[in-house]
Each structure stands twice: as structure tokens, then as C-alpha cells.
Structure 1
Amino acid sequence: MKKIVIVLLGLITHSFFSQNYSQYVNPFIGTGGHGHTFPGAIVPFGMVQLSPDTRIDGSWDGCSGYHYSDSVIYGFSHTHLNGTGVSDYGDIMLMPTMGNPGLSPKEYSSKFSHQNEKATAGFYSVKLDKHNIDVRLTTTKRVGYHEYTFNKAGNANIILDLNHRDKLLEGEIKIIDSKTIEVFRRSEAWATNQYIYARIEFSKPMKISKKKFNGKEENNAFTGTELALAFTASVKQGEKISVKVAISPTGYEGATKNMLAEGKSNDFASIKKQAAADWDKELSKIEVKSADKDKLTVFYTALYHVFTQPNINMDVDGKYRGRDNKFYMAKDFGYYSVFSLWDTFRGAHPLMALIDKKRTADFVNTFIKQYEQGGKLPVWELASNETECMIGYHSVSVIADAMAKGVTGFDYEKAFEASKNSAMLDIFGLNAYKQKNYISIDDEHESVSKTLEYAYDDWCIAQMAKILDKKEDYEYFMKRSQNWKNLYNPNNGFMQARKNGNWYEPFDPSEVNNNYTEGNSWHYSYSVMQDIPGLIAAHGGKEKFEQFIDAIFSASDKTTGREQVDITGLMGQYAQGNEPSHHIAYLYNFVDKPQKTEEKIKYILDHFYKNAPDGLIGNEDCGQMSAWFILSSMGIYAVTPGKPEWETVTPYFDEIKLHLEDGTTKIITKKTPKSELKYLGFENVKTAKELKYTEQTASPVIAADRLFDFTTQVKITPLNEKDKIYYMTMDEDDKNVRKTFKAYKEPFTISKTTQVSTYAERNGEKSSITTSDFNRRPNHWDITINSTVNPQYTAGGKLALIDGINGDINWRKGEWQGYQGQTVEAIIDFKSPQPVNHISSTYLQDSRAWILMPKKVEYYASMDGKTYILLKTLDNTIDPKDTNVQVKDFATEVLPTEARFIKVKAYHFGKLPEWHQGAGGDAYVFVDEISVK
């Protein structure tokens, strides 16, 4: 392997760090459109993100608290999320006003203009129009610095509202003296149990002029779940009041220590200068040359966004709040929070493993501590809370990537133990995944995406096992990593969901539904990052796989099914605005067509990243959207994190200097050979010895009518034509009969409710067993539904309401019929009169998902299908605010009645009320089984 040009620096000198790259940062990039970033003052990986809040409604485009389209500021809070898809944070909000203070957002908010707003790396300023107040903000890691200039004389107020944004569970404000207060806030939002403490110091004495609280007032302390105070002082025209806010996750003592360490200065300008210097130091790790200032701005703002999080989440003395809510001391590592791992494992963490191995080790040490304290590795951790957001267990990708690339500073054995633990749990479909080597719709929602992402994560664990020479673990997890084969449909080349042992039909690869996570089959049919050669072989070779890659870019850019706001930046069905697509353009390299990779990557770099508020094509997602730009513009990308190599493309910039921690500088130009780029930064990493593993045999597909009248034909098909098939049947007459598998030769017919089990065998290697249930109809009734079902929630058709099969409480498995904004009316025809004395129908509530119980259910009877008599009305008793997912059977005895027809009317809730996040939208009624006796 040729060596890239290396300049030995010996020591990383101050002159390299003093380069003013922070001048190119534009914090407004991503604050418009759907970028979900914020413009406020931060330092790299700091605990404080001090930024204005223009959104307090929890809206999707207000996840960060700020959106560029807004014209009102409610205040300045100290924690924010960078580009996420769920709203949270906004802790410790202060807002300056004048005159008679008000404690409601409407009273203390102010109009502002972007013409009077400025943001740079580590600094933010704005003029509040309502009272002509100039606000300037800067920060250290743990202390936010405010400077308010009151341009009119009078009474100046500083409002502290603990009810800002998320739900306040506990609050306390302690008056220490006329210039000092302490604040405790425990809140619930996306993270359900967040703790933050603050010490606030004013530059001049302030008096409480107004208060709102619903708890106690004693010993100069106020408590409650409603808590806001106004602090007031007289000011002259042009007078400044400075405020310093130190925050801590552990307690008042921690906040005090953080203030003593980082809040002693009263020189706002010097803190602002230091914040910029901190950014210059981090940004100078990658130096790019370009005559195009906009391109420099996009690049360095992207790097700025990557360095915004994860956030240090410990006090200056190392004390932190663990996942078990107990306190610990971090020794020899930094403890961090905000891990958007479903996004960042793809690009942001591989970038960090290249340019910041020390911090990468800190992240892994944080993961290990969270495993020790919380029982498993983080999935999407926030403020020492596990949100369980998104899918997979991608901490293992970060760990495997670090180990494969020679990152040290953490316990490899403990990291492997934690990773294996995550893979062996029985949550989120993993139990079924372990038993039958894939997840079906019957087992868990988003079954395709979960199967594919678990399989990649298993490969990552196998790479750790290889490094640690754990042969049995390597064999086991490499075999599991092939589970994608069970959802690859060789008839169409797509990753397709399976239901009851068969392929789920009808199938449309453009359909966004509950079988995929934030995407469709187009987006996930390339998600075999761990085995691209195997995927190519499954398609029939490089030429056919090239055509399949072409197909995603040439397909219509219209999706079907439900609306998914995350799917943006479309080129055909390729979606640059969401993470599952991010590696796909690089797959052309695997079919020997690098020129196509060049073409697609260049187009994305040119068109989807701009120096503008709407300059990101999708959610920033804690740095992943930007990391893709950084890596791709350097000519590299990690298609398979966990391998010490890159996929390559021609660099976007004329020259790039990469300053590494070992004191070396690597220079990249457009002429740098791709063979050198491939191992950039990992030339000296030792490759673990290859170990053997067994090729997996995929499970066969069973096709028959799930619900049949008298008979149905059962056909079993292998996913590989070389496989032999064995099967076994069990019906109600076979319960006490010992059955064995026999060779399958041809389709067969069943006439009873029957369970069919099958497996495939090739070269002595058996697949997992696939089991299907086929049900003879419990009745021969007919049903007419005089309402329009949502096509996403049909449960397989109208007979689903009378088939005797009950829907699971996990409604995303697809066994419920969903009706939005309408009363559901169903009429059952028994075909002939019969006695009726008991009627029931079953409904589901998942308030967060807009699914509410019907207000009431009415049952009617008729002999002729025209004239109906009301038999019973049942009112709902479940509170619509109850967010527990639950099922209720509206069952009733009725006076013995003879009828041919039974009508069921379930009255929908109506518009979602103001307290609901979807206020104004139409609620759903979800109904399943109707039973009549």
C-alpha cells in the first residue's frame, strides 16, 4: 500500500490552532427549513447551549426551540438539541423586559428582526423590539453569560419561568442574596425524568417584583409545578445588567463549583474571545482551501455542528448523574450525554474516530458506565435518560469502529460484554429475531428495518470478538449478521416484510408504512453495510446490482402510504435528508463504477448544502447530516463503520490538511490516489486474524389464505433454489399426536384451522423454523362497513372485524382497522335470523398517536336491514389524556333478540383538543373484533 504524504510536526503548535476558522461559521444554517438547528452561543461539546427560544409549542420544526421563520422570542434558555426530530430541553429560561413585569409567555415575549440579530461561533446577539433591549450571549462549557442593555430608563425586569417548554415535575427557586439565586428543575418531555440545577448571579441587586407558584414559600425559597418569578431593578438609559448562569446535572453544590471554575470573569468580551478561540482550536483540525467563501462557510459550519454534541454532562470535578439516577465520579474520562446513535453511527462517529480518538474513547467509556448503571448500552440517551427512540443498538457500531481503528483508552473486554448484553435482550423484537433469524410483522412493528439494523450490529459485535479472539462469539454473531437474507425477496430484489410466514402483500417499495423506520423498502433494500458482496451476489452479480442502484435514483420521487416528514432531499427515491440513504451512492464503487459515485456525490454536495437558514436538506440529527458533507468533501465515507477503511470519491476541495492527535498532518488533494484515501488515518492499524463462520440458510416462505371458507392450498417456497424443504402440519385433531418434519414435494390442501411449520436445509445447514397459522372462518357472516378505512390500517380487509383473530396491543403490527375523523358504522349480516343476547366490539387508545376511544358505541338490531332498533348505548370511560396504550372491549348483554342484521356505530372523538400536541387534527378510531352471541 502506498503511503500518503505525511508531514511530521512533532508537536501541534499554537500557530496551527490560532487560525481563525471560526470566522466561517454561520450558526443560522439549518435554523430554517427542516434543519432543526439553533443559533445560540455554545463551545465545543459544552454543557451549556445558550440560545433564544421562538417556539414553545412542541412543534416538529421547533424541536431546537428556534425557527428562522419566527418573529417572536420568548426567552433565552441554556439547553437545546441540535437538529433532532423530537422536542426537548429549553431549561433555565431568562427573559429581560421593562416596566410592569408579566409572567405569562404572551406578556414577556418580544418581537425581533433578523436585521438586528447576529450569531457567530460562541456568540449570539439580538435586539428585543418590545422594550428596546439589546441582548448579547456567550458561554463557557458550563456557564452561560448574558448581557442586557436597557436603552430606556425605568424598571428593568429579568423573568425566570420554570414552566418554559417541557412539563415541570418539580421546581425550586432559592434566594441566596439580592444578586444570587439557585434553581432546581425536574422536568418531563422526550426524556421523562430530567434534572438540572443552576446558580444565577446578577451584576446588580435585584428584587422580586412578581411571583407565581403553586407550592410553598419558606426560607426565601419557592417551590411548585408552576413557578415563575420576576426580578426587578431601576436602570438608567443605556445601563447594562450582566447575568451568569452555571448549570449542573447533580446539585446546587455542583452548580457552585462550576461557577467558581468558569464564571469568575466579569469581562464579557474576554469570554466571547475565549469561546471563539475554543472553536478555532477544534475547527483547525481540518483545514480546507477554497476561493469560494460560501463553501468554506458550509464546511466549517458543518464541523461546528458535529462538535455541538454529544455534550459534556459532568461537573468540573467529574461528578455526574448516572443512568440509575445515582451520583458517580468520572475518573480519567469525560462523561457525555445526547447520543443520537441511529443517526451518528453512520458518519459523525467515524469522523470523530479519525480526528478525535480521545473523545471517542470518552464516548465509549460513557457507554460502558451507562451499561453498568442502567443495564444496557444507550440507544438514544438524553440527560441520563434512555428515550428508546429509533431502533438497533448502535452503540456497538461506535465501539466496534473504535476498536477496529485502534482507539485505546477504554476496556475492550467490558465493551464487548456490554455489546453482547444488548444483543441478547428480549426487547423490541429481539426475542423473535434470535429464535427465527428475522422479525415478522406478527412479532414487532418496523420489522424490516429492525432485522436489517440488528444484523449490522451483530456484525459489529463479531468484529469485536475477532479482535479479542473469541471464536465462538465470532461464529455466532457472524451467522446472525446474515439474517438480512430472510427478508430479501429474490423475486423483486427488495427487502420485504413477512407476515404469517409469507411475503406481505400488496407490496409497493415506495410505500411508507409501519414495516420500516422513517422510510420505505427503497431506502432499506441497500442496508446490508456488513455484507455488500453478499447482497450483490443475491442480486445476481455486479451488473444487476448496478441496475438496482440506478433504479433508486431513476425512480419517481413520490412516496406512497403515510406522510413521513423526514423523507427529504429526494433524487428519485434516494433521500439525502434522512440517514438510511447516506451510504447508497457509494455502493457504485462495489460494482466497479466509481464514476457514478463521483457524479452522485458531487451533485449532493453542490445542491443539498447551502450557506442559508434552509441550507440543510433534512434534520441535522446531532451532526450526522453535516458529517456526511465533511467526509464526502474530503473524499471519504464509512459505508461500513467497524472496518478500518473508507469508501472513496474525488475530494471536493483543492487541498485539505488533516491534523491528527499523533502530531502528523495528512494532506489531501484532488490528485491523491484513492488507494491512499482508502486507509486514511488507519495505515498502521493491525488487522485481526480472519476466523471462519458458517453461511446461513434462509427460511422458506409459506403461502396460503390466512382466512379461508372450506379449504386452502399451501405452497412452500425456498429463498434459494438449491435448498431442500421440510415441513410439518398441526390442526385441532393433532394436539396429542407426535408429529415429525417430512420432505416437501408439492403444494397441499388443508380444510381445518392448521399450523404449518417449515425449514430449509443446504449442505447440512438448517434454517430457522418458519411457522404460519391458517384459520378456517369461525362463521360465514357478511359485513358491510359504511366508513372509509385509512389504507395504512386495513388489517387485511373488512373480514378482519369478524375473523376471530384479535389485534395485538402493539397496533403497528397491522391487526387493527383505523378510521380518521369519522364515525365507524359496520353492519353484520348473519344471512338468516338468529338469537342475539351478547354483543361486543373492541377498540384501542394510543393518545400520543392520535388514536382515541370512541365517545360512545351503539348496537342496533334489524330483521330486514332497513329498520333498526337501538339495543344498547355504551359510553366511553377512558380519559383521552391517558397516554397508556390500552384496549377496551365495549361488551354488553342485551335482551334476547332475534335478528338477521346487527349494526355497530362507534362515534369518533372529533378534533384533537388544545392540550394535545396534534391539536386541531382529526382523531382516529381503531377497531378490531366484533363478536355476537
Structure 2
Amino acid sequence: MKILCRYFMVDICLMLIICSSVNAQEISQKVIWGIGQADDSYTEFALAPNRYKEFASEGFGGANRYYVIGKSNPGQDWPYVLPGPKEGLAGYGYWAGRALHQLPIFFELEKTTDKGTSELIVNFLEVSAKNAPLFRVYINGKVYEQQLRPGKSGELPEKLDPNIQNITFVFPSKNLKKGVNEIIFQNMTGGWCVFDEVKLVGPDELVMSKIGNTVLKSVAFANFEMREGNKNFQPLLVDILQQENNSEIKVLVDDQEIVKNIEVGHSVLEFNIPAVSSKTISEVKIYIDGDIKFKEHLERAPKDPIVLSQYVDQFMGTSGSRWMITPGPRNPMPMVQLGPNNQGTVWKAGYEYQIESITGFNHTQEWTMAGFLMLPTVGAWQTKPGPEYSPDLGYRSRIDKTTEKAKIGQYSVDLTDYGVHVDLTATTRAAFQRYVFPMSDVSRVLLDAYPDAEYGYQNLETEITWIDDRRIEGFVHHICDKTGYVMTQDYKLYFALEFNKPFESMGGWTDKSKALEEMNHGLTYESVQNNTKKIKGSGSVGAFINFKTTANDTILVRSSISLVSTENAWLNLEKEISEPFGWNFEKVVENQKDIWDQYLGRIEIETDDYLQKVKFYTNFYRALSGRMAWGDINGQWIDMNEEVQVFDDPDQRLCSGEFWNTFWNVQQLNQLIAPEFSSMQVKSLLAFYDKGGWLSKGIFAGEYSSVMVAEHGIPWIVGAWNSGIRDFDFEKAYVAMRHVQTTLPLNTYPGGGRVGNESLEPYIKYGYVPLNTKLYQSYVSNTLEYAFDDWCLAQAAKKLKKDKDYELFMKRSGNWRNIFDSKTGFMRPKNADGTWHEPFDPYHTPGFVEGNAWQFSWFVPHNLTGLVDAIGKKRFVARLDSAMHQSQKVNFNALGDNFSKYPINHGNQPNMQSCYLFNYAGVPWLTQKWAREIQEKYYGIGPRDAYPGDEDQGQMSAWYVMSTLGLFQMDGGAAAYPQYELGSPRFEKITIHLSDTYYGGNTFVIKAKNASRDNKYINSAKLNGKKWDSWKIPQKEIIKGGELILEMKNVPNKNLFNK
């Protein structure tokens, strides 16, 4: 039964919203603090009078801008406008996804009171006339919100006539605490609002104190213990925002003293205090620069030791994210990606953190695949999900956001419209769901075979069959040809469902079901199928499995999928859940945790900043879980011709994912840390070549795809072989790679899709790809990508002693010079007659895929020495350094995915090598500087700022992991003798446990002494006890194990590595 009330309050706090004057209260009130003046003007605020387009570039709305009462200045630190989540004026774009803008306010109270109420008064001067926002306030985490009235001044926050709206949020004064308090403003929906004044009014007993330079957000003992040596410690976690200049923090716990340095930025410092054996009250004192800032008695008790999987925050990066990123239980390289969906069919659909309702739980988040959706419901039938802002128009349910938890092994949430609690867990090929129902005669589990996805598609056929009163099986047959690429995703996804309790009946609907009218309690339908044993149809098709439930009745459902058959789906379920775990949900949860602890344990980092551990291990998790691998437990898989094939190796599966520029991220991480996945990917490519005659730009559920450009599976194969991953047929791989580099593409592959290099014919004819060839995906920049693939193929020829081929492809690898203009120093579009395209603008001249001439002019990963010489070292360094400074203003990300606006864009594939280019120009300290800046500025820890660009199947996260290790490979390890390039390691100690199978189980340790946010520069280096004077380290030195010791400082040693 749906709850129709739209607004809510966490913890059932008193919430009162008054749009006029507030009744007089018995308790004497005063203004505690204010921002701005109630003067019908916004000129006292930052960005006034009309610099609203600079909101995002000035950092407003992001995690690094906040307002501190008593220190901040309204004219500099409080923007006059707060944009909505879908406004292009502040970073939103169709391709970029919705923005998440929050304005935090911090203030400190010396004295508090439990008496009476306080009032947060927000006076708005004007509101978007087109799309008034739902304005939300968080007061120390508690939620208050109000739908604002539309304004009168038009679509943009400029030339405003005052149209005052005064909103007062009344709340218990006891919700304010001694110490630092936090209030956050956010527009949840709609457009912009412009402020006139913000103030807090409360009882006279409330007394302010000055925060100073350090915002001490919270102090608490951790709910875990850590082990060092033979002792257990329980960290005291101190959450700090340091505004400017470093400070000293001294912590005393029961007279044990620990002193640390606080660097500018956000940290959660760990102070390791000996663990206790029973409940204890400890006195905690904290001094900042000698002044006492905290003195309390805190209770603590024995806790379980923390494991690495507990650091993973699955909500990081889930706002504005791609279809492939959802919170939910995933194994490394999974086939099942069980998780919540809450969006309609739109680019970047799937899960959006800011939407507080859910349509259901999908089994797959594969690119171009929609899968099928499941949702527990109570009450009247609904067969459409309904829009995100009107859940009552469909089966979509609102959620209690405070109950939504996502950790490795388990996702949980309360569906408030149905009163159902949901838990999810999974194995590699199977899923396990737990629903806790209220008492009801109309409890149901919905199965929607035509759910929304990132692209539109057709449901050609669905069949759902009752096997008995506990089991359901079926399939969906979908065709997706709406991607904009030349490919058709044609697949049958078979499924098997088993319940722990018998259900009453099964009903369902098909295209032919007819919605008659909206009734009082939702939509009723005629012509649906009730008490049926089979549902079959096309278009909108689904089923309801009906139960009668008692209060807190737990319904468990085990499920699995297969691209081959329902028999295989049952087999997957039997072998991965039914036999090993039975109906024990918690054992499946623990199994996934154990698997991830093993993978995450391949890299151990040491830092006293808890946030840095969360950031690192979450990125590590994303990097290894972003791609899918299809293949049933018996080794069977479906090829591009929809025929069943079998892998001889039961551990081999068909890896999904595209290869565009993965040599700068996923490829090199897999080669070093998870070589079995690197091998699996190569074998997948070769299996595709065996059955289809071509390599693939990306394999998705057994189909050839044309996404994106070039054939960057070549550097993946060559990089794997040259890195020592040699459990595949390299001769066969060479034939496959040579074939795709010398054979003209097929516009239409018989099994669907397109194969080959789009622009190969003009590339061979001219030595470059001219502008306007009118071929599919034919960009001038393809010249650069083809040239790199040619060089990688030449390295393979060299290994196999194919001398003529080596000479041929090495010559072709120099084709980048054919579009390099020595006068401007940029790669430029060239016409077929050999003339330069005019006019030329390095930002906006066409011919560059998802980028511009600025960004692609650095794309010569195989010959950067030649590129530096061609541009000129001095011009190369000055231009690149200037570009970094310019892009730093927007955290190295193209706002709104406006690729052509910026010289450097870390938020997309073509530019992720940029900071490492300085090494090749003789200024390695600039590589160290800018690598660290990108680590800190581009990568955040929140739902939106974790990956502000395109986190495409683990590419952004893999880059972060490699960069914080201080290692990078410009060529993805494809050189005949691979090297690692040094950047700026983030952690004081990094231990890499290498593969037993591929690298002999060796261990390589990186000790970056004094590494911190400030100490980014390498001042000295020793490898295995000997002085190391190069910014390159042979890969063989790392995989044989050893120790690299670096001395890190906050100033560069410009003479180091400069020989």
C-alpha cells in the first residue's frame, strides 16, 4: 500500500515549515548567526551580479568549498545562486549526467540547550520561473525540505526582480550540539534559487564560539580494531577540514599523547589507542595549535578487527554515473551485477544516488543490456515503473534513504511505500535476495521483462513459466540497436528463480493487457493473466508471484542467469548457491567478503588517514568489478552467431568491455595486480577471432561492437605477453592482430555489428586519415590511435622475429607526423590533397573523437621523445604546464562534458596520460606535481565527485590506483622490454603481493617516506639498496620482487632523474 505523503523527516523529528512570520515563543530568542542581509538584494554575495556560469568552476557546490561562520566572507564564499541538478549553467549536461550541488555551512557552539526550538530562516530573492526547485536542508544530518514557488524572472538567474519567498524551518534546539554543527543546502529537483538572507535564530542559551582554521567535524572511537605488530588498537577517528595553512594536532586519551600534522583539506586522522577488553570510559582531549578544542569522556568497547573490504564505499561515484555503476553485491569480474535501478530510459540511466525511489533490482548492468527487474510489492497491481518524481503512478517505491546501505557482500534498503525491507547478495553467476514483508494477503514479487535501461531497445519475446510452487524460469529476448554505434545487441537472457516458501499463484501481463483507469488505490487492469502457469508475449511483459505474508515474514529468492539456456541457469544456481550455501543468506555475504579481501589484499597501503583508505580501496574495487565476464559454470558461452561454444578451461569466461585507451588504466592494473584477468581478456579476444575471424573493439554479451575507435585490444594482447602473461597462443594472436591492421573493415558483420578499423583505407592510402572522409567514425585523430596500434604490433613482430613486418609497422607507427604541424605545434586536420584544414583553432576545429587538437596533440605514447623534439622541449613544457593550470580550475574535468572547451580533460579516455608527459621532457618533478594534483582534485570521495567524468568500466578508478602507487606505463607495457614510470606515490608504504601463477608470488614494497598531501615530490630514490637515478624502472625489477625507497618532500629535487 503506497504512502502518498511526499515530504518526510528523518527520525520523526519535529518539522515545521512556515512561509510567513513565526508565532512568538515563550523562550527568548536571538539571532545566532547570519549570512547576507534581508535587503531585497543579492549583491553582497559571491558571483554577483551575473557570474552564475562560474558557479562550478569556482568550486561552489563541491566538497572543497564550504562556509565557516565567523571566518568566511559572503562576498567571496557564499554564492548568490544555488543551481538545480539538471542545469547546464553549473556542470550538468546530457552526456555528463545530473550535477550534485551542496552548500555546507559550519558553525561552532560553546553552549547548547535542550529547551525550545530553533529556526533556520532562508529568504529567497527569486526562484526559477521555469522549474522551481525542491529545496532541502540537512541540519546535522536531519532532513527538512520545501517545494518553492515558481518565480517571475525567467530561465536564468540574471536581471532579477525581487520576488521574495521567506522559508522558516523550525526544529528542536536539542538537535544542535556542542562543538561543530553542519547545515547543508541542496536543490533536489528543479532549477535555481537566489538568496537574499540566511540566518539561524535560537534560544538565548545558545552561545557561539569561533572555529578558527580547523573545522573539527567529529571525534569518535572507530567501530573496529586494527592490529600492528602483536598489539590491537582501536583508532580514535578525528574528522577534520583544514581551511588554510597546516596546523599541529595533539590528542590525549587517558593521558596517552599523540601529535600529528594537519594538512589543508579533508582528512579523517587515525590515532591508534590500545584496544580495551571491556567497556571503558576514556577522557579525550584535543588541542589544535596549542588551543584546546575538544574535551569529552567517550565510551568504547572491544570491536572486531577491520578487513579491507570494509573500507569500500559503494555509493562513491553513483551520481551522474554510467549504467554500469550501481551499488550492490558484485564479485570481481562478475556475470551477475545485482543492484538497484531507479531511472527511466536515458543516457547514464541505471542508478542515480539523488533519486530517493527504486524501480527494482536488476541482475545485469552490462552495456547495451537491460536484463530483467525484480521488486517486492504489496497491494494493487502496477505494471509500469512510473516517473522518478511521481512514484504513485507506477510500481516504483520510495525508499528511506537512511536505511540504504551498500557494502561488499550486501545491499539493503527499506521500500517505504510497501513496508518491505530488502537485502541483496550474490556470487559470480547467481543472486540471492531477502525480502521482509508486512502482514498482507496481497504480497507479491514483481518480475518486469522490459525494464528501463541506458538505451532504448525492443523486447521481441519473453516467456515466464511456473515450474512448481517454489520455482519459476524463463527468458527475455531483447534487441538493442539504439546506441548510435553500428551494432545490434541481440541476446536471450535465461533465468531461474527459486523461493524458500511456496507461493499462492502466478499472474502477469503482456502487451495486450489494457489499463482502464486510475482508481483510488492505484491502477487496475483488465485482461491480465491470473493463476496462470505461463506468460508469453512481446513488448511490455511481466509477472507477479503472489504470497500471503505474516508480519516480518521473510521471503528468500535464489536466482541465476545464462545466455545459453535455462538448464544452465539452474546449473549455475545449483553450483554457486544451492549446494554450497543452501538458504543461508549470511554465508553468501561472507563468501563475497572473503573473495574481495583476497583481491584487495594484493595491495596493502599504510596511511593514518582513514579517508585515504576508503578512497583507495573503493577505487581498487571499482577497477576490478566494472567489467563483466560471461560464461556458465560448465564452460559454455554464446558466440557472435548465437551458437553455443565451450571453453576448455572451466575458469575461463568471455570478458566484456571495450578497449579504448585502457592501456592507461585497466590494462596496466590487471597486468600487475590481476594478471589472470588480463589473460582471460586475451583469451576472450582470441576465442572471438576463432569463431568470427576478427578481433573486436569490445565484446558485449557475445556480440561484436564498434565502440570506440582503433583496435586497442592489440596493446592489451602485446602488453600481456611482454609483461610475462604467456598462457595463450601468441602466434595465433599475432595473425589476428595483423589481420585487423591490414584488412579493410566489414560494414556489416553477418552476425551483427561492424568489425575492423573504420578509416584503414585512407590511413594506408595517405598515411593519415583526412578530414571529412564520410566513413563511419572516421576522425583525423584515428591517425594517432592507429599509429600506436601499429607500433604495438611491431613489438610483437620483433618478439616473433618477423623482421619485415617489424619494419612495416614501425614505419606506419610514424604516421602521427603526417598530421603534426610544426608551426603551431599541434596535431591538425589535413585534407585529402595534403593541405591543412583552415581555419585552425586547437579548441574547436573538428576531427578529434571526444576531444580537441589540444588534447590529442599529446597522443604519441610510443614515441614521446620524438614528440618533444617535434614541438620543442621548451614549448612542450610551457604549453603542457599552462594547460594543467587552466584545467586545474575545473578539477581537470570538462564541465558538462564540453570536451572542446579545455586543453586537458582527465574525465575522458584521450587525455589520461597527460601528467606523465613531463617525464619525457626532462622535468619529472612536474609529473610528480600534476599526478598528485589530479589524485587530489579530480578524484573525490562522494557520490558525484568520486568520478566527475566517464568512469567507463573501471578506467578512472584503475588510473587512480596505479597513480597512487606511483607507477604508470605510457604504452601499457607493450614495449618489448616494459618499463614503469615513476609519478607521486600517495602512501608512506605500499606492499604489492604479486601473482603466484605469473610472477612467482613475489612481493614488491614501495616506501615513500613522509608521503602526504603536501609531500608529493621525490627527493631521492633507492632500488634494492642502491641509488636509483632514473624515472623509469624495468618491469622485470618489480615482478621479481624487491624494495623501492623514496624520500618525499614538499619541494622538488630538480636534479633528480634529470640525467
* TM-score bracket relative to the smaller structure: 0.5 to 0.7
Q: Provide the rounded CA distance (Å) in 2 between the counterparts of 1:41 and 1:475.
A: 49
Pick closer, same or farther for the CA change 1:312–1:447 going to 2, 3 Å. Answer: closer
**1:447 is the counterpart of 2:779:** yes
Aligned ranges 1:459-498 → 2 under 5 Å: 459-498=791-830
SS in 2 for 1:646: strand
* Equivalence for 1:581: 911
Pick closer, same or farther for the CA change 1:675–1:285 going to 2, 3 Å. Answer: farther
* Equivalence for 1:770: none
The Cα RMSD (Å) is: 2.4
**1:80 is the counterpart of 2:365:** yes
Alignment check: 8 A CA contact 1:322 1:328 kept: yes
Q: Give, in angstroms, the shift of residue 311 of structure 1.
A: 2.0
* Equivalence for 1:504: 837
* Equivalence for 1:546: 877
Q: Provide the rounded CA distance (Å) in 2 between the counterparts of 1:364 and 1:612.
A: 34
Pick closer, same or farther for the CA change 1:666–1:20 going to 2, 3 Å. Answer: same
Among 625, 630, 649, the residue aligned to 1:308: 625
Among 374, 379, 387, the residue aligned to 1:99: 379
**1:369 is the counterpart of 2:699:** no
Aligned ranges 1:2-17 → 2 under 5 Å: none
* Equivalence for 2:862: 530
Q: Give, in angstroms, the shift of residue 99 of structure 1.
A: 1.6
* Equivalence for 1:239: 553
SS in 2 for 1:511: coil
Q: Give, in angstroms, the shift of residue 681 of structure 1.
A: 4.7
Pick closer, same or farther for the CA change 1:41–1:677 going to 2, 3 Å. Answer: farther
Structure number with higher relative contact order (C-alpha < 8 Å, ≥ 6 residues apart): 1
Q: Provide the rounded CA distance (Å) in 2 between the counterparts of 1:207 and 1:440.
A: 66
Among 459, 484, 503, the residue aligned to 1:206: 503
**1:222 is the counterpart of 2:535:** yes
SS in 1 for 2:820: coil
Q: Give, in angstroms, the shift of residue 567 of structure 1.
A: 5.0
Normalising by structure 2, we get a TM-score of: 0.60
**1:250 is the counterpart of 2:564:** yes
Q: Which amino acid aligns with 1:200?
A: L
* Equivalence for 1:273: 590
SS in 1 for 2:558: strand
Aligned ranges 1:805-820 → 2 under 5 Å: none
* Equivalence for 1:746: none
Pick closer, same or farther for the CA change 1:379–1:675 going to 2, 3 Å. Answer: farther
* Equivalence for 2:178: none
SS in 2 for 1:104: coil
SS in 2 for 1:482: helix
* Equivalence for 2:1036: 682
Q: Give, in angstroms, the shift of residue 646 of structure 1.
A: 1.5
Q: Which amino acid aligns with 1:253?
A: E
Q: Provide the rounded CA distance (Å) in 1 between the counterparts of 2:1034 and 2:402.
A: 43
Alignment check: 8 A CA contact 2:931 2:984 kept: no
Query: Where does the alignment leave 5 or more consecutive residues of structure 1 unmatched?
Result: 1-17, 82-86, 687-933
* Equivalence for 1:701: none
Runs of 4+ in structure 1 off by over 6 angstroms are 215-219, 556-559
Q: Provide the rounded CA distance (Å) in 1 between the counterparts of 2:447 and 2:322.
A: 28
Alignment check: 8 A CA contact 2:494 2:563 kept: yes
Pick closer, same or farther for the CA change 1:389–1:136 going to 2, 3 Å. Answer: same
Q: Give, in angstroms, the shift of residue 552 of structure 1.
A: 2.4
Alignment check: 8 A CA contact 1:309 1:338 kept: no
Q: Which amino acid aligns with 1:525?
A: S
Among 430, 433, 453, the residue aligned to 1:143: 430
Aligned ranges 1:271-670 → 2 under 5 Å: 271-332=588-649, 334-427=652-745, 428-443=758-773, 444=775, 445-501=777-833, 502-511=835-844, 513=846, 515-540=847-872, 542-555=873-886, 565-566=896-897, 573-614=903-944, 615-641=946-972, 642-643=974-975, 644-661=978-995, 662-670=1000-1008
* Equivalence for 2:352: 67
Q: Give, in angstroms, the shift of residue 412 of structure 1.
A: 0.4
Alignment check: 8 A CA contact 1:446 1:516 kept: no
Q: Give, in angstroms, the shift of residue 309 of structure 1.
A: 3.8
Q: Which amino acid aligns with 1:617?
A: P
**1:170 is the counterpart of 2:461:** yes
Query: How big is each residue's C-alpha offset from its partner over 1:376-404, in whole Å with a ceiling of 9 and x where there is no partner?
Result: 11212211112211101000010111111
SS in 2 for 1:280: helix
Pick closer, same or farther for the CA change 1:38–1:286 going to 2, 3 Å. Answer: same
Q: Provide the rounded CA distance (Å) in 1 between the counterparts of 2:630 and 2:376.
A: 28
**1:42 is the counterpart of 2:334:** no
Pick closer, same or farther for the CA change 1:640–1:316 going to 2, 3 Å. Answer: same
* Equivalence for 2:17: none
* Equivalence for 1:133: 420
Q: Provide the rounded CA distance (Å) in 2 between the counterparts of 1:378 and 1:516.
A: 22
Alignment check: 8 A CA contact 1:101 1:157 kept: no
Q: Which amino acid aligns with 1:42?
A: R
Query: How big is each residue's C-alpha offset from its partner over 1:467-519, in whole Å with a ceiling of 9 and x where there is no partner?
Result: 11111111111111111111101110111111242211121111174x11111
Identity of aligned residues (%): 31
Alignment check: 8 A CA contact 1:143 1:245 kept: yes
Q: Give, in angstroms, the shift of residue 208 of structure 1.
A: 3.8
Aligned ranges 1:761-910 → 2 under 5 Å: none
Q: Give, in angstroms, the shift of residue 556 of structure 1.
A: 7.4
Alignment check: 8 A CA contact 2:560 2:572 kept: yes
Query: How big is each residue's C-alpha offset from its partner over 1:411-445, in whole Å with a ceiling of 9 and x where there is no partner?
Result: 00011111111112323111111111111013245
Alignment check: 8 A CA contact 1:145 1:242 kept: yes
Q: Provide the rounded CA distance (Å) in 2 between the counterparts of 1:149 and 1:219.
A: 25
Alignment check: 8 A CA contact 1:345 1:397 kept: yes
Q: Provide the rounded CA distance (Å) in 2 between the counterparts of 1:613 and 1:301.
A: 12
Alignment check: 8 A CA contact 2:1002 2:1039 kept: no
Normalising by structure 1, we get a TM-score of: 0.68
Query: How big is each residue's C-alpha offset from its partner over 1:663-711, in whole Å with a ceiling of 9 and x where there is no partner?
Result: 211111115546688436523889xxxxxxxxxxxxxxxxxxxxxxxxx
Q: Provide the rounded CA distance (Å) in 2 between the counterparts of 1:670 and 1:626.
A: 21
Q: Provide the rounded CA distance (Å) in 2 between the counterparts of 1:233 and 1:94.
A: 15
* Equivalence for 2:143: none
Q: Give, in angstroms, the shift of residue 345 of structure 1.
A: 2.8
SS in 2 for 1:307: helix
Alignment check: 8 A CA contact 1:146 1:242 kept: yes
* Equivalence for 2:6: none
Pick closer, same or farther for the CA change 1:404–1:436 going to 2, 3 Å. Answer: same
Q: Provide the rounded CA distance (Å) in 1 between the counterparts of 2:869 and 2:501.
A: 73
Query: Where does the alignment leave 5 or more consecutive residues of structure 2 unmatched?
Result: 1-304, 387-393, 513-527, 746-757, 1010-1020, 1023-1027, 1041-1059
